[in-house]
């Protein structure tokens, strides 16, 4: 069961003042009837207007939590088991990119859309957006390196 809440405001860029996504994971044995599903975990990610407040540190923490949820509920045990080593690298990348103008607002918008696609079970759209999101991170980091190299010349 997935649930999402959005708070809109005309006073906030992109109109999104706050959002919360709750993912409820239920499990049962494969030979049991549907009535045997039991709640196994509930995780809530509550991303407030860190972008508006330009609180890069808070946004990085919330961003990391969101990424962790995607991995946890991916049903990919290999990825879930090795995520700590991947997360370390993603955090290093995120730390370098967090102060880029407009980047946090863009990724927040992408996260919101990704959560909505997953909640609605539009998995093809979620996968396409996730690929775009990851590709943009690579491009953003490449641009950061080019900008840094240009400053050194």
Determine the length of the chain.
Answer: 153
Per-residue pLDDT of the chain (153 residues; tens, 9 = 90+): 666 666 666 765 555 556 666 666 677 788 888 888 776 655 445 555 556 556 677 777 777 777 877 777 777 888 888 887 888 887 887 777 777 767 777 887 888 888 778 777 888 998 899 899 888 888 888 888 898 889 888
CB atoms within 10 A of CB 64: 14
Instruction: Report pLDDT for 107.
Output: 82
The token pair at 5 is 């809440």
**How far is the C-alpha of 13 from the C-alpha of 112, rounded, in Å?**
14
Which residues partner with 24 through β-bridges?
42
Instruction: Report pLDDT for 132.
Output: 93
H or E stretch covering 64: helix 56-72
């Amino acid at each position: 069961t997935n649930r999402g809440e959005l708070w809109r405001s005309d006073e906030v860029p992109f109109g999104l003042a706050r959002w919360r996504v709750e993912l409820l994971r239920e499990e049962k044995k494969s030979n049991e009837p549907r009535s045997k599903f039991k709640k196994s975990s509930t995780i809530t990610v509550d991303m407030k207007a860190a972008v508006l407040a330009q609180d890069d540190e808070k946004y990085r923490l919330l961003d990391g939590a969101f990424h962790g949820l995607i991995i946890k509920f991916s049903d990919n045990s290999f990825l879930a088991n090795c995520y700590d080593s991947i997360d370390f690298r993603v955090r290093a990348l995120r730390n370098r990119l967090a102060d880029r103008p407009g980047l946090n607002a863009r990724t927040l918008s992408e996260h919101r859309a990704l959560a909505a696609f997953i909640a609605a079970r539009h998995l093809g759209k979620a996968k396409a957006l996730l690929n775009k999101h990851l590709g943009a991170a690579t491009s953003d980091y490449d641009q950061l390196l080019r900008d840094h190299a240009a400053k050194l010349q």
